[in-house]
Structures are given as C-alpha cells and as structure tokens.
Structure 1
Amino acid sequence: MDEIATDNRQGILTRIRWKAGYMNPALRRIADRVLKAPDEIKAISIKDLALQCEVSESTVTRFVREIEVQSFQHFKILIAEELSQGSSSTPPITDRHVYEDITDQDDTASVLSKVAARYAMTVADTRAGLPAEALEKAVLAIEEADVLGFFAMGASLLCVENALLRFMRVGKRCLFFRDLGIRKFSISTLGPKSLAVGVSNSGRSISTVDSLRQAKAQGTTTLAITSFPDSPIVRHADICLFTPTVTGVIGPAEYHESMVSKIAQLQVIDVLYSLYAVRNFGRAIEGLERTSDVTALTRY
C-alpha cells in the first residue's frame, strides 16, 4: 500500500522522466516510448510494448519494477489515473501561475499548504531517487579533482553558492565567476584533473550547457545536476545527478525558474559534500577548524 501511495503522490510520468537518465538503453527505450504518448499506454499489451521498443517482455517487467510499480497492469492503471486527473484538473490556458501551481485563486491557507507540500515532497523524492552508484562516482570525481569549476545561471546560482561554502571550507579548491566573459576564460584553466560542475534545472541554460561542452572537449571531467534526462546538458556530462522537480507531468515539461527545484539542488550538494567530508574526515575537520576563525569574524 505504501508503494501505491508513493507512486500516486509523485506522479508516475514524473517518476519515469526522472529515472530515465539512469536507465540502460533497453529500459530507456521503454521510458521514451511511454513519455512520447502516454495516452496510448493505457490500452497497450505488454507484448505490443515490448515489440515496439524492441525488447523482451521480461525487460518490460523489469522496467515496471525499476519505477517501483508492482505489475504492468498496475502501471497502466496509474498512467490512466494520472492522465484523467491531469485533464480534469488542468486550469484553462488563461490562468497564470506565480509559483509552481499557485494562482490568484489561492488564499493564504492554500498558499501555505501548497508551498509546504511541494517542499516536503521534493526532499523526500530527492532522497528516494539518488542512486548510490551515481553519488559514489560523483564523490570520487570530486576527490580526484585538483579544482572544482562551477557553472550556473539564474536561481541555480543559489546551489553554486552553497557548494562554494561547503567545499572551500574543507580545503577543496573551487572556481566560479559571475561575469560571463571571465567565466568563459576560466574554462581554459581547467584540465584533465579538474571537475566542471554544471547546475541547471531545465538543462537548457545556454551559458551553462556551453561551459560544460567546452570543458568536456578539453578533457575535463564533467558533472551535471539537472531535472531532465533528455536536456542538452546531459550530452556533455560524464556524470549526471537528476533532481525530481519536473513541474506538470501533463503538458510542457519545463517551467520557468521553478524555485522548489533549488531545494533539490541544495540537497544534492549537501549530500555530495557530506559524503566527501566523511571519506576525507581528517582533512575536512582541519579545514573547518581553520576557517572557523574567519566565520567567527562575521558575527557579533
């Protein structure tokens, strides 16, 4: 029962879109087929889906289990329910959302409830969806890097500021420039032993995507933190960590500057920092103690 509740709460299409980036090619083909036309999945047989995706029926069953659903039949039910809820609850095109799903029809209590619910859901879903293997790979890249170069735009800068504070305090060299021109120059200073980290919820911010592309082209290891496995930034990332912050699984996948997405980004950075600090405990403690005098000067 808990599994069913979780799937319904998060949204099965959101779960598929989010997990697709971690799937092998066969499972990814199934995910892409489902997301391309979810309305066709409601009545499809497991045999037909397997044929369309050029996989075995057992692979389709494995895909269903990968997205934490009990059976193929239950999977189709969840798809049908979500599509039905989307068509019945989607507001008219004239409605405007000022923040996630908040409109001018929401009162104080409704706004408070919606914001709190989205934050809580984001934290829980991020925790549930970060694979240990991907985290280990990212932490190893951080350990081996001579310098961490960060690239982000807009509200994703909040994530970078958090990363700079965390990693610099434990003695890790970091590089980041707000000026776009200097930022482009800084890429040339990264080498094969460096790690370039691009943070973009949509994965489509031109400056961030181009920075990772250029860094990868000159042999730098690249890490992307994004919500969309099919976004341009993923093509230039050696390592990807996906955040479950896709807004609106019915209709357009992207949302202008989703602020809730930043909670997930901050969570990912804190997890990476904590793993790094635990694995380099002595150095981390020394760094924290060394910089504590600096932070003490900022407080009365």
Structure 2
Amino acid sequence: MLSRIETLKDQMRRSERKVADCVLARPHEVINDSIATLASKADVSEPTVMRFCRAIGCSGFQEFKLKLAQSLVSGVPYVHSGVAPDDGPQELITKIFESAAASLLRTRSQLDPQRVGQAVDLLSHVRRLEIWGHGASGIVALDAQHKFFRLGPPVVAYTDAHIHAMSAALLEPGDAIIAVSHSGRSKELVASTRLARESGAAVIAITAADSPLAQTATVTLSPAVEEDTGSYIPMSSRIVDLAIIDVLAVGVALRRGPELAQRLEKTKRILTEKHLL
C-alpha cells in the first residue's frame, strides 16, 4: 500500500498529495485515526480524504485503513520519510533503521536468483578478481576484498579511477570485475568497465537497473533502494550493497566446498592466535 501511494502521489491533486504525505510520514499512526483526525492532520477536508482513498483504489476510508494495516503487518514500511533537520534522536533511530530494513526486504524480494547464480558461477572460476567503486561504493569494494581474498583467487579493490583504468587495459579472459555504483553513472567507472569487457574480462555490476554501468555489465544485480544520495550521506544503499556482496561471497564458498575448508581453517587458526587469553 505504501509503495502504491508513493507511485500514485504525483498523479493526485495537491490537496490529495497532502493526505498522501501524511500517511507516508506516519503510517502506523494513521491506521488508528478516524477520517476526521486524518483530515485535520493533513489540513484538508474529509471529502478530500475520501477522494485520496479512491485515488489509490480503495472504495472508502475503512478499506484503505484495512489494506494499510495489512501492508504494515511485517512491522517495516516499504516507503519511509527522509530525515528532517528538526528530527530528534528517536525519529532518527526509527527512520534510519526502517529505511535500511525496508530496502533489504525490498531487494530480497526483487533480486533475480538466476542472475545471482550466474554471478556466483563466474566468481567460482575466476582467474583474478578486481573490485571497483568510488566514494561510499569504494568502502563496499574494500569490504568485498576482505570477503573474497580468503576464498582463493587473487583479489584487489581499486577506488582510484586512474588505477582501475590502467588495470582494465591489462585484464584477460578469465578475469572478472565487481563494479559497485549506486547511480551507475560514474563516467570513469563506466569507461573502465567497457575497457575491461574489451579486454575479455567479465563484469558483475551492483548498480541501478538500466543505468550506463548496467548496460556494460555481463551480469547486473540491482539493489531496490530509494535513496537521495545528494542529501546527508548514503545509508541504505551501502547496507544493501554489502548484503549482496555477502550473498556472492557465501555462494562462492559453498561452490568450492571441501577444497576451501582447509584455507578457512588456516586463517581462523591464525586469528585465534592473535586473541588475548
């Protein structure tokens, strides 16, 4: 229901959009409101609330509240309101955690298992793996390096555009790239992935669907994140990207099975020796 309201909001009259904004901001409160209460909160008339209900496909206010309650049964809204300058600590906690949880659940339901399988196949037989990303995506790339270097193939993360441009020219068939970008519109990253493809390497892109980066990739995995990265700092997009990296790393580990067990046991033993008794 919340996703539907967000999608249809731009088609509504201005007064109806005020109701939509009120519902999206505090959906858990609205399910307990009367039509008069919601109208007062949105500063509109009761007939406007009824028009809003019909605009989103409900016959009336009671059906709207029933469907809204059903959509909130998981406890996590699929659309959240962004943080505001006057938000207190409790509102920050609620909004940021709900945003992250909603993005993870949405991506889980929309991520294509077939594409994940293709990416795991590529990574399970790769000769050399490079992971590229800029800014916040560069942090994801470094985390991915930490995950994959224990799994077998040589792996390196590059967050500098000049470095991965030079490296792209030296790649060969059998090599693979994981390119991470929320927007998929970084000019340098797209140029390097194109060069990598020309060199014969496979490219797994974790990026927005239909973006320029996605169009250059062998396999694209698209996070379902609605986030304005121009305001404050990227939050949900980074968390979802990290979860996708975990899916790929665990998938590769499972594919390699017993041959990987001794490597992981050796690294675990070394780490144990560094712990204080």
So what's the TM-score if we normalise by structure 1? 0.63
Q: Percent of aligned pairs with the same residue?
A: 27
Q: Choose the corresponding residue for 2:124, options 134, 140, 143.
A: 143
Q: How many residues are matched?
A: 211
Match of 2:255? 279
Which is further off, 110-119 or 287-296? 287-296
CA distance in 1, matches of 2:274, 2:212: 40
Say whether 1:263 aligns with 2:246.
no
Q: Deviations over 1:184-239 (max 9, x none)?
A: 2222231111111110001112222222111012221111101x223110111110
Say whether 1:240 aligns with 2:240.
no
Q: Deviations over 1:248-286 (max 9, x none)?
A: 6xxxxx646522101110010101111111111113322
Say whether 1:201 aligns with 2:182.
yes
Say whether 1:190 aligns with 2:171.
yes
1:170 and 1:285 in contact (8 A); partners too: no
Match of 1:101? 82
Deviation (angstroms), 1:144: 2.1
**AA paired with 1:171?**
G
Larger relative CO (CA 8 A, sep 6+): 1 or 2?
Answer: 1
**AA paired with 1:244?**
A
Match of 1:25? none
Which runs of 5 or more structure 1 residues have no equivalent in the other structure?
1-7, 15-33, 41-75, 79-99, 249-253
SS in 2 for 1:169: coil
Match of 1:167? 148
1:153 and 1:207 in contact (8 A); partners too: no
Task: Name which one, 1 or 2, has greater alpha-carbon Rg.
Answer: 2
Match of 2:73? none
Deviation (angstroms), 1:243: 0.1
Match of 1:126? 107
CA distance in 2, matches of 1:225, 1:201: 8
1:170 and 1:283 in contact (8 A); partners too: no
SS in 2 for 1:105: coil
Which is further off, 132-141 or 280-289? 280-289
- CA distance change for structure 1 residues 211 and 243 in 2, over 3 Å: closer, same or farther? same
Deviation (angstroms), 1:298: 5.2
**AA paired with 1:291?**
T
Which runs of 5 or more structure 2 residues have no equivalent in the other structure?
13-54, 58-80
CA distance in 1, matches of 2:179, 2:198: 15
2:227 and 2:237 in contact (8 A); partners too: no
SS in 2 for 1:133: helix
- CA distance change for structure 1 residues 283 and 161 in 2, over 3 Å: closer, same or farther? farther
SS in 1 for 2:170: coil
Q: Deviations over 1:55-84 (max 9, x none)?
A: xxxxxxxxxxxxxxxxxxxxx847xxxxxx
- CA distance change for structure 1 residues 106 and 224 in 2, over 3 Å: closer, same or farther? same
**AA paired with 1:289?**
E
- CA distance change for structure 1 residues 294 and 186 in 2, over 3 Å: closer, same or farther? farther
SS in 2 for 1:188: helix
CA distance in 2, matches of 1:286, 1:12: 52
1:177 and 1:183 in contact (8 A); partners too: yes
CA distance in 1, matches of 2:151, 2:100: 28
So what's the TM-score if we normalise by structure 2? 0.68
Which is further off, 268-277 or 207-216? 207-216
